[in-house]
């Protein structure tokens, strides 16, 4: 049985430091919002450092911030069934959520940042998509999308290969890092190596203030908020793909003739694969 987080936090409260108590108080007052915060967001809301938030998580018996959010989400899930019979029609509900996610992404992306990112990709000697887990699948989708317009890119989803690849990059190369939370340890560690090598970094994340952004030259806000129990949701993935499509289409428009030729060639190359 999952222990209620409110009870756990209250039981540890007297033993916490003053700054940790500030985190505890905010969390208790904002449980439903906190599950959508990055560690940076929560630290900013409370007015403490990220290390204080992480220390608070460990003080209440958890391994880290992601486990902390997962436990809260599990508690909230027990209290109300998201897909109860009283909820909106399932088809309409998911359709609305998906459309809203794309609209939110479109509204949050800076056109200037998007154009700068497209220019970086256009001039890059090589482009590497980094992502693990569900974001790794998006990275593979991105590679496929770029290949169809004749752009050779790499999609690296294994953390060890990411790190090794990052160490070989130069200032002429670009890494597109995909992480919905912006807190994926493997991706962030690989980006640190890439930056040390001089590479440019474009981050696609839902959280504009998250650990991944400290290594990014450009941040494109893509995805949608999801609780830890919704990890890998299609709504978030579709929004990531929307940003990838913006980048790919931007490149194609800069190289119209070449892109059209490559689209025709790649389509012809697989036509015999279809009955």
Instruction: Say whether 267 sits in a helix, a strand or coil.
Output: helix
Question: Which is higher by pLDDT, 103 or 138?
Answer: 138
Q: What does the mean pLDDT of the chain come to?
A: 88
Q: What confidence score (pLDDT) does residue 4 get?
A: 78
Q: Is the pLDDT of residue 155 over 80?
A: yes
Window from 68-77, 250-259, 263-272 with minimum mean pLDDT: 68-77
Closest CA to 163 of 142, 182, 189: 189
Two tokens, residue 200: 């440019």
Q: Would 5-79 and 92-273 be classified into the same CATH topology?
A: no
pTM: 0.74
Do 156 and 165 meet the contact criterion of CB atoms below 8 Å apart? yes
CA distance 179 to 130: 9
The DSSP element (H or E) to which 128 belongs, if any, is strand 126-130
Q: Strand 126-130 relative to strand 218-221: parallel, antiparallel, unpaired?
A: unpaired
What fold characterizes domain 92-273?
A: Rossmann fold (3.40.50)
Report the pLDDT averaged over residues 149-165.
96
Q: What is the CATH number of domain 5-79?
A: 1.10.10.10
Judged on CB neighbours under 10 Å (0-12, 13-18, 19+), 46 is buried
Cα(157)–Cα(133) distance, integer angstroms: 8
Dump pLDDT digits (tens) for 17-27. 999 999 999 99
Q: What angle do CA 155, 177, 156 make, to 5 degrees?
A: 20
The predicted model gives 160-164 an average pLDDT of 97
Q: What residue segments make up the domains of the chain, in order of their start?
A: 5-79, 92-273
Alpha-carbon distance of 222 to 114, in angstroms, equals 12
- pLDDT at 156 > cutoff 90: yes
The answer, yes or no, to whether residue 121 has pLDDT greater than 90, is yes
**Residue 237 to residues 180, 197, 234, 250, Cα–Cα distance (Å):** 9, 29, 5, 20
Buried/exposed 153-172: b ≥16 CB within 10 Å, e otherwise: bebbbebeebbebbeebeee
- Which tokens sit at 103? 């609209």
| Distance between CA atoms of residues 21 and 9, nearest Å | 9
Write the pLDDT tens digit of every residue in 78-112: 665 544 545 568 888 888 888 888 888 888 888 99
> For 220-259, how does the pLDDT look when each residue is reduced to its tens digit (9 = 90+)?
987 665 555 555 578 888 989 999 999 999 999 999 999 9
């Amino acid at each position: 049985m999952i222990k209620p987080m409110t009870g756990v936090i209250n039981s540890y409260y007297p033993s916490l430091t003053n700054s940790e108590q500030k985190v505890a108080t905010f969390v208790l007052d904002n449980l439903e919002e906190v599950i959508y915060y990055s560690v940076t967001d929560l630290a900013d809301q409370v007015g403490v450092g990220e290390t204080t938030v992480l220390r608070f998580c460990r003080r209440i018996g958890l391994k880290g911030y992601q486990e902390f959010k997962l436990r809260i989400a599990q508690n909230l899930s027990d209290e109300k069934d998201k897909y109860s019979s009283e909820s909106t029609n399932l088809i309409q509900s998911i359709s609305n959520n998906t459309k809203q996610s794309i609209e939110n992404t479109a509204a949050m992306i800076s056109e200037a940042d998007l154009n700068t990112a497209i220019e970086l990709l256009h001039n890059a000697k090589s482009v590497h998509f980094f992502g693990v887990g569900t974001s790794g699948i998006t990275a593979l989708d991105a590679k496929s999308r770029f290949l169809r317009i004749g752009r050779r890119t790499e999609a690296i989803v294994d953390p060890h290969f990411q790190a090794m690849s990052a160490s070989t990059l130069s200032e002429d190369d670009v890494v597109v890092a995909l992480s919905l939370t912006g807190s994926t340890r493997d991706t962030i560690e690989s980006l640190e190596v890439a930056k040390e090598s001089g590479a440019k970094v474009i981050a696609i994340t839902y959280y504009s203030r998250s650990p991944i952004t400290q290594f990014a030259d450009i941040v494109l806000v893509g995805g949608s908020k999801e609780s830890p129990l919704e990890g890998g949701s299609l709504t978030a993935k579709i929004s990531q793909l929307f940003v990838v499509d913006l980048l790919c289409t931007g490149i194609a428009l800069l190289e119209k003739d070449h892109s059209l030729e490559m689209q025709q060639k790649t389509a012809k190359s697989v036509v015999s694969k279809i009955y």
